[in-house]
Amino acid sequence: MSNATRLRRRLVGHLLGEGVLHDARWITAFRTVPRHVFLPRFFVPAANGWAAMETGDDKWLARVYSPDVLVVQLDDDSGLWERARYLGAQPGTPTSSSSQPTIMAIMLEELRVADGNRVLEIGTGTGYNAALLCQRLGSGLVYTVDIDPDLVDAARKRLAEAGYAPSCAAGDGAEGFPAGVLYDRVICTCSVSSIPPAWLEQTVPGGLIVTTLNRPIGGGLVRIVAGEGATGHGRVLARDGRFMPLRAHRFKPSKVPEGDVVWRPTRLPIGVITEVRSRFEFFAGLQLPGVAALREGGITALVHPDGSWIRHRQAGGGFEVAEGGPRRLWEGVESAYEEWLDLGQPWRDRFGLSLDGEEQVIWLDSPDGRTWPLCP
């Protein structure tokens, strides 16, 4: 047994232990598809940015079969890897990656594919996820699209090297696949602020779409049942997942103004809003549209595009906040938290979606219940 095969089996053992992989056919796919073929080079975190790693480097194969996300592109620039390789670690923001196998397994199982299903993947990336789909369904039933032509070309070659030949295209994933084909399943391996109507239109009625929501606070994994035309309905799933956003759905970064501030005590830790494991996080994102979290010198801040901001810090055995701008954001946080308590502390799996073209809402418990715009 080769070292790669042993590491692949160990990775599957990890996924089984995490309770994210159950279906025997997906287990076989993860045991079979050689992930190392799709990751001949990638970035690893370094003290001053991102260092370049490639085939043959010490620990390269172990990293490939680790349960970690592996960054393959920075700042939408495929040339930065070469610069990091020959000039040393480079700064940059990850813009493409091979996702954590854990979330890949969750999404593939939530897709509920059946033999003979035609599947569209949005976000080809390295091609590894497309290979898993091909292993499960056969290459002739898999279509994949990515906005970056360089990524698509590289993925196509690596898929062929691994023995797979799905239909690959370069294009805006928000428009679906360029060919006029209807799909039984659509899976998006990047997050979206709203569900592109083209995905609904290209999915057979009753077909499923699995993607993740791109929200400044409170994203999550959703499964949608397509209706006629650009309509559909779905649920936010208990099993969570977060991805880099589709390029057109990225948020513009904000900053907190510098200067002296006045601190006051608060009973709420900032983690109830910003941490994925918090049951309040999803509701907080709905009640605080446009508010995003960032870290500055050990202090967590919340910012809004209108210039409102909050700084939050631990002070002794408690917490303190300072705020500024046109609105009192922390009062909104405290009010939202009290409302959440009154509603029975709903977690993300009590929320659903109703979609009709550009009119898209999130609701609590039922479509007739409390609603919020999906993309305010």
Sequential pLDDT tens for the chain (376 residues): 589 999 999 999 999 999 999 999 999 999 999 999 999 999 999 888 999 999 999 999 999 999 988 988 888 887 889 999 998 899 888 877 788 899 999 999 999 999 999 999 999 989 999 999 999 999 999 999 999 898 899 999 999 999 999 999 999 998 998 877 899 999 998 888 899 999 999 999 999 999 998 888 888 899 999 999 999 999 999 887 665 554 444 445 556 666 667 888 888 888 888 887 889 999 999 999 888 887 766 677 888 888 888 888 888 888 898 888 888 889 999 999 999 999 999 999 999 999 999 999 999 999 998 999 988 6
Query: What was the pLDDT predicted at 1?
Result: 58
State the pLDDT at residue 76: 81
Structure tokens at 88: 């040393």
For residues 74 and 18, is the Cβ–Cβ distance under 8 A?
no
Please tell me the total number of residues recorded for the chain in this structure: 376
> What's the pLDDT score for residue 338?
95
3-state helix, strand, coil in the chain (%, to 5): 30, 30, 40
pLDDT at 325 (0 to 100) = 86
**What residues have CB less than 8 Å from 64, skipping those under 6 apart?**
7, 35, 36, 39, 70
List of E strands, the chain: 41-46, 49-54, 70-74, 94-98, 119-122, 142-146, 167-170, 183-192, 203-213, 220-226, 231-236, 264-266, 292-296, 299-303, 309-315, 318-324, 351-356, 359-364, 371-373
Q: Which residues are catalytic?
A: 99
Quote the distance between the C-alpha of residue 102 and its chain's center. Answer: 12
Q: What gap in Å lies between CA 130 and CA 88, rounded to an integer?
A: 32
Residue 269 β-bridge partners: none
User: Distance between CA 51 and CA 90 in Å, rounded?
Assistant: 7
Residue 234: its pLDDT value, please?
96
Q: Which residues contact 2 (CB under 8 A, 6 or more apart)?
A: none
Say if residues 101 and 67 touch (Cβ distance below 8 Å). yes
User: What pLDDT is recorded for position 47?
Assistant: 84
Q: What pLDDT does 72 receive?
A: 86
Quick one: pLDDT at residue 376?
Answer: 65
Helical (H) or strand (E) element with 39: none
Residue 276 and residue 242 in contact, taking contact as beta carbons nearer than 8 Å: yes
